[in-house]
Structure 1
């Protein structure tokens, strides 16, 4: 006749089973291999000219809302790379966080808090091997220009800023009033902090991600 488990031991066994089950099924296990991400939905008319796809480093002006039907697959892995506590950057960060929640994106955040951390934090973000790294904050533009060309297998999206000479893995989503390009070019004369509204920031992350998911990368999306 089998001996009955004492209550304390039975509870411990039950807890171990629960922990094992959670460990095997956690949605935060970024170490597991993943297939190439595919978009859910298609781009609408006016996003790009299907007979003349944008050339590298081109700037396109997609029709407003032409990206609305495109969504990342559930569990799409994104690292939000951010630097700066100014209101513009915080608006971008909030938009990315809200978008990730709405789209069931698996989001990790890497924040730069000191001037000597840029390359290290960017490398940290790359080492997480996300599907996409989203950059928010003008201070990241120049460091990203130095690093991204050496990591062509990693996709990047800059929202509210752009790299002057992007490689094929760097996409940007800008709008009138947001066009910082770094590389000593300084702030554009048309730069307008008040243009960083939640609606603009949300459109940037949605349109930018839709473009990357459909393979239109290394370009600038100019949102009107």
Structure 2
């Protein structure tokens, strides 16, 4: 599964690097080098076409809220702007979510995993029905009341979940061999199960390179 490419736009270089580390720790996401201005953000969007932008309101050459309405890219606001008019304006201009600084790595991780579920639901088939739209929108804000009923798992997804041995962690490749599917397919189902809370993702760090993603059943 190809990672979602994420562009962080923040005028504080150190904060941008910190948030990039948060993004890189979430399976399925890769942070592009952060940028610190609206001009740099536009140049990067046109040149590298990121999947998602994490956008601050206060930039040295423009307000992020003004930049927002010029963008053709998914956006989540990450900002210290904690006033209701900014929140309303951000949502009105197309932001998918709004996260107020300071926040934890886990809070951002939840937002990113919700976004991944949203994207997967809308990518499952070329023509979608209202139930799929409702599920995709709910995926962005899973804590809302009136949630759709729990979905029925496919046979393959159920087999992937069954392949995970309690109290152990396994790689996507190991699960794929057990089920008899490709690693990419196993990765896709494991990510969806993680979004639903049925699977936990752990990172195992080696001496070099990106950490390996390991999957397991949640502890009881």
Fold conserved (TM > 0.5)? no
TM-score (norm 1): 0.41
Whose relative contact order is higher, 1 or 2, with alpha carbons under 8 Å and at least 6 apart?
1
Q: Which has the larger radius of gyration?
A: 1
TM-score (norm 2): 0.42
